[in-house]
Structure 1
Amino acid sequence: MCSVAFSHIIFNKETHDIRMSKKPDYEIFDSLGKYMLKEKGITNSSSEKINNFCNAILRLPDSSTDAENLCKQFVHFFKLLYEEYNDPTISDNRNKYPEFLNYWLNSQFRAKNIKISPESKFYKYFINNYDKYVEENILKDKLYHIEDKYFNKMHMLYEFYKKYNEINEAANGGCTKFLDHCKTNYSEAWKKCFSEKDNPFCSALDGFRKFYDENKHSNLSRCNEEGLSSLPELLSPHSYRDTELEANKISNYLIWPTNNDSSIRTSKIKNTQFSKLYELLLLRYSFLFADNKEDKKYNMLKILQEFFQYCNENRGIPSLILFYKEFLKEYYTKNKDEYDEIYRDCSTSPEHTKSYCKVYEDVSTKYSNHLSTIKNIHDEELNEGTEKLQWLISENSSSVIISQLDKGNNILSNITPILVGTMAGGLSILFLLYKFTPFGSWFYSKILKDAETIYNVNGESDQYLFDYNLEFEMDNTENGKIHFSYHPS
């Protein structure tokens, strides 16, 4: 009977629409904690009907016992979730367990290294015959191969929810693991959102942030046991929609190699040279992960330092003013209160023991004009062609001159030993020639002797004036002669 059923399956494999590839629903993990509990109850034991269905997979080309066992696990997992959530009164989000099952199936294929593609007979068999273990069309159009570019983003979301749900597992250090995972992956996930311009993924990522904010306080006691006083703050970008306004921002032209505009002639901002500034622009002028306040202040000052450096290197380019204004408007003014706090802290501190204050000292020394200008800039000035900003980015800016001198110091420091050595060697050679060769006699007779003669003549004349009484007579038309006399004492 099994072989008959299998033959029927093979020859009628187009009964249901095979979805080769489509963009998945990312927002399917809100109930992951409950799914994970159900997953622990999965076994390979099944009814005879399911066994016959899954055993038939072994007859397919390139199949294996791993694929057969996965089939049984999937069917059992489906039945567990079906019994839990097959209720029309349950919210739509919880009814997304079929979408989650499809993600789970795709993840198992990858984890068990079962090579499955949309074109494989295994996948077609599995998709077209789900009705052998479920009477309703719950899985219709829900099972399909997820392309890697989509699966990788789904897996990012899965890991965030999974690590959060594992916080309560104190024995495994759940809080610490969640914190470390967010440090490494949260900003990276948003970078993928922007670089691939995937709005549904961005929305799902923001959905996790909201889920986390609503639930994080319930886990604080568990984190205190691990020595953590609080959980990190997860932020979302000011905007993650691909609007025309976002697309036209100057920063997009500065960080994306493929974005070019002939009117914007400033150089590209590269991650290798301006890492903090580059990341800020990539995340659309947003800070997304704030774990340690001191680290955040350090990063804020590094951003400012790299921004000023970039402006100095692109001085004199007219389009630079557009980026300067955009940076101030989109980022600096929105964080001005925090910057002012940093300035006060570092200005009043007697010793710059904090790492961020050392950066502040460097910024205030090298870029004093830039710093003093933005400290006092007003919002209304950003909408005008301000003379302050125009001067800062011009070729004649004093900060630029100072910057160039700083660069010149490096050159001077390299050639100074050469100059000193050359001068010392030249003087030594002249001394030897003067002392031990005819050149010395000639030099004495022509240069030093003449100078000595002039000196003696002047000396004799002066002495003559002091040794004798001198009288000068001048004709005066009114009084006749006037006598001037000198009598040395």
Structure 2
Amino acid sequence: MAPSKPDYDIFGDIVKHKLRNSQADKYTSDSKNTFCYQLFTILKLSMDSVNLCKDFVSFFTLLNTEYSGAAITGVSNKYPEFLNFWLNRQFRARSISVTPKSTFYQHLINNYKTFEAENKLNNKIHDIDDLHFNKLNSLYEFYKVYYDLKSNNNENCSKFLEHFKKDYTPAWKKCFNENDVEFCKALEKFTKFYEEDKTSISTVCITGKSSLPKLLSPRSYQIENKEDKKIGNSLIMGTHNATISGLSKINDKEYSQLHELISLRYNFLAVYNEDEKRSNMLKILQEFFQYCSRNRENSNLFSFFKEFLREYYIKNKSEYGEIYDDCSTSSESIKSYCSIYQGFSEQLRKSLLSINEIEEEDTEDETKIRQSFISYFSSDSIILQLEKDNNLLSNITPILVGTIAGGLLILFFLYKFSSFGSCLHAKILKNEETLYNFNEEIDRDLFENNSELEINNSNNRKIHLSYNPSLKPF
């Protein structure tokens, strides 16, 4: 039986929760938490379990007091779910091993009445499996780091950026790979909250290096059937080097940026700074043309070419135009992404400029897009000269020539200076003699059997040649 999915939307009041959690460390209520000691004295669990039990009782008491007089809302009504997450987080942080039916849970549940929790926590406290806990924890960390940044501590800026760079992307990917709609809704809720509120903290991260990232909303979490039919998906999902279409697989080692783009449905996740984003954009194009050049003889390449233009390039065309302008005007540009552009071959640069002439409406015109495709990949004279291409033939040819030459030299020495050569020579002479005798016998037989030549009188002028069927035609 698959574990049930938790409620992910439990962090709307995280500021209050954090405040009460810090106060719970100092709060004690011996009259309500004495049952916790039985975990050690009777049930033989560790003192870490006892202390966690006491902390849980204190935290619950503070939150219950906080919300007891407030009107019940979506936020205030979910603090039991937050408490359950907090408890599961503490198990892992304190290395306390538990199971869904462990002694700790049962002892806590059996004593709800002791700390007045029976009406609040019934069916709320339980073990969260690792898969769903990791998703909850990632959401918790996003809110936590964001509110830390709002404290106007500039030191938190770099921490915030690094955290999102490291953790937001994997969380966003889960919306596609695991198709967990509820998690993606919760992630989207945080993204909207962040985008609406980030102006209040924009002064904290004001340098170009530490600009606030723009987070891409996981709006595509409800995967449509057409997504599965995209040729790009088949090119990265294949388990072998070749796909069903006959095109080679786009692996994440040789085509890292292109593979990442397709795996995210042709989307960018976040922008940390302009140089980094535009460097990746150029690498994507470089790898795309490299892949097309290597698969240009496969007729199915056209479908991928068209899909790439429609799903990605046209949507980012204006920014690509800015990149080309920035990097073409000066060979001494200080922008790091221009060093990538200037490292391209002249032919590749021309192709990038040509593809930038394609308009959005052209992607719906089969004739126009096919003409562009043919002009790029139809003849050797215009095949892209990608600087990273490995010429396999140039690597093999010297080895092949050397091997053949060495083999011939060995045969020559064997023939001239070894007994093998003498045997071979005698064999050749014997074969020649046999062939000579055979030819002589055939000539004689032919002469004897065809000696009868009859020529009739001059009236009919017929010529009769005898035929011997024992001789087969050559």
TM normalised by structure 1 equals 0.73
The residue number in structure 2 matching 1:341 is: 322
The residue number in structure 2 matching 1:411 is: 394
Matched, 1:124 2:82: no
CA contact (8 A) 1:368 1:399 kept: no
What root-mean-square deviation, in Å, do the aligned CA atoms of Structure 1 and Structure 2 show? 3.3
CA distance in 1: counterparts of 2:278 and 2:322, whole angstroms: 10
Deviation at 1:49, TM superposition (A): 4.0
CA distance in 2: counterparts of 1:214 and 1:282, whole angstroms: 28
Deviation at 1:86, TM superposition (A): 3.0
Map 1:43-442 to 2 at 5 A. 43=25, 46-59=28-41, 61=43, 63-87=45-69, 89-135=71-117, 137-169=119-151, 173-223=155-205, 230-237=211-218, 239-257=220-238, 263-363=244-344, 365-368=346-349, 370-383=351-364, 384-385=366-367, 386-391=369-374, 396=379, 398-400=381-383, 402=385, 407-408=390-391, 411=394, 415=398
Please tell me the residue identity of whatever aligns with 1:281: I
300 and 156 in structure 1: CA distance in 2 versus 1, 3 angstrom threshold: same
CA distance in 1: counterparts of 2:339 and 2:194, whole angstroms: 35
Please tell me the residue identity of whatever aligns with 1:202: C
CA distance in 1: counterparts of 2:319 and 2:388, whole angstroms: 32
Deviation at 1:154, TM superposition (A): 1.3
260 and 22 in structure 1: CA distance in 2 versus 1, 3 angstrom threshold: farther
CA distance in 2: counterparts of 1:278 and 1:234, whole angstroms: 20
389 and 239 in structure 1: CA distance in 2 versus 1, 3 angstrom threshold: farther
CA distance in 2: counterparts of 1:246 and 1:405, whole angstroms: 31
Deviation at 1:399, TM superposition (A): 3.7
**2:18 aligns with one of 36, 43, 50:** 36
CA distance in 2: counterparts of 1:277 and 1:169, whole angstroms: 38
CA distance in 2: counterparts of 1:278 and 1:186, whole angstroms: 18
CA contact (8 A) 2:24 2:58 kept: yes
CA contact (8 A) 1:255 1:278 kept: yes
The residue matched to 1:103 in structure 2 has which SS? helix
The residue matched to 2:202 in structure 1 has which SS? helix
CA distance in 1: counterparts of 2:8 and 2:184, whole angstroms: 9
Please tell me the residue identity of whatever aligns with 2:292: C
Deviation at 1:276, TM superposition (A): 1.1
CA distance in 2: counterparts of 1:88 and 1:324, whole angstroms: 59
Deviation at 1:27, TM superposition (A): 1.8
CA contact (8 A) 1:367 1:399 kept: no
Please tell me the residue identity of whatever aligns with 2:374: W
Please tell me the residue identity of whatever aligns with 1:400: I
CA distance in 1: counterparts of 2:130 and 2:196, whole angstroms: 31
The residue number in structure 1 matching 2:472 is: none
CA distance in 2: counterparts of 1:379 and 1:69, whole angstroms: 63
Deviation at 1:273, TM superposition (A): 1.0
189 and 55 in structure 1: CA distance in 2 versus 1, 3 angstrom threshold: same
Please tell me the residue identity of whatever aligns with 1:300: M
CA contact (8 A) 1:370 1:392 kept: no
288 and 227 in structure 1: CA distance in 2 versus 1, 3 angstrom threshold: closer
The residue matched to 1:315 in structure 2 has which SS? coil
Please tell me the residue identity of whatever aligns with 2:144: K
Deviation at 1:259, TM superposition (A): 10
Map 1:464-479 to 2 at 5 A. none
Which sits farther off after the overlay, 252-261 or 46-55?
252-261
CA contact (8 A) 2:184 2:218 kept: no
229 and 120 in structure 1: CA distance in 2 versus 1, 3 angstrom threshold: closer
Deviation at 1:139, TM superposition (A): 1.5
CA distance in 2: counterparts of 1:86 and 1:413, whole angstroms: 79
287 and 149 in structure 1: CA distance in 2 versus 1, 3 angstrom threshold: same
CA distance in 1: counterparts of 2:2 and 2:387, whole angstroms: 60
223 and 407 in structure 1: CA distance in 2 versus 1, 3 angstrom threshold: closer
Please tell me the residue identity of whatever aligns with 1:166: D
395 and 23 in structure 1: CA distance in 2 versus 1, 3 angstrom threshold: same
CA distance in 2: counterparts of 1:185 and 1:168, whole angstroms: 19
Count of residues in correspondence between the two structures: 400
259 and 29 in structure 1: CA distance in 2 versus 1, 3 angstrom threshold: farther
Please tell me the residue identity of whatever aligns with 2:156: G
The residue number in structure 1 matching 2:420 is: none
CA contact (8 A) 1:67 1:114 kept: yes
CA contact (8 A) 1:26 1:200 kept: yes
Which sits farther off after the overlay, 316-325 or 76-85?
316-325
27 and 60 in structure 1: CA distance in 2 versus 1, 3 angstrom threshold: farther
The residue matched to 2:24 in structure 1 has which SS? coil
Please tell me the residue identity of whatever aligns with 2:282: L
CA distance in 1: counterparts of 2:42 and 2:354, whole angstroms: 73
Please tell me the residue identity of whatever aligns with 1:341: E
Deviation at 1:371, TM superposition (A): 2.3
Deviation at 1:45, TM superposition (A): 5.6
CA distance in 2: counterparts of 1:354 and 1:44, whole angstroms: 53
CA contact (8 A) 2:88 2:128 kept: yes
Deviation at 1:381, TM superposition (A): 2.9
Deviation at 1:62, TM superposition (A): 5.2
CA distance in 2: counterparts of 1:405 and 1:357, whole angstroms: 17
CA distance in 1: counterparts of 2:300 and 2:241, whole angstroms: 13
Deviation at 1:117, TM superposition (A): 0.8
CA distance in 2: counterparts of 1:238 and 1:405, whole angstroms: 36
Identity over the aligned pairs, expressed in percent?
Answer: 45
Please tell me the residue identity of whatever aligns with 1:242: I
CA contact (8 A) 1:170 1:222 kept: yes
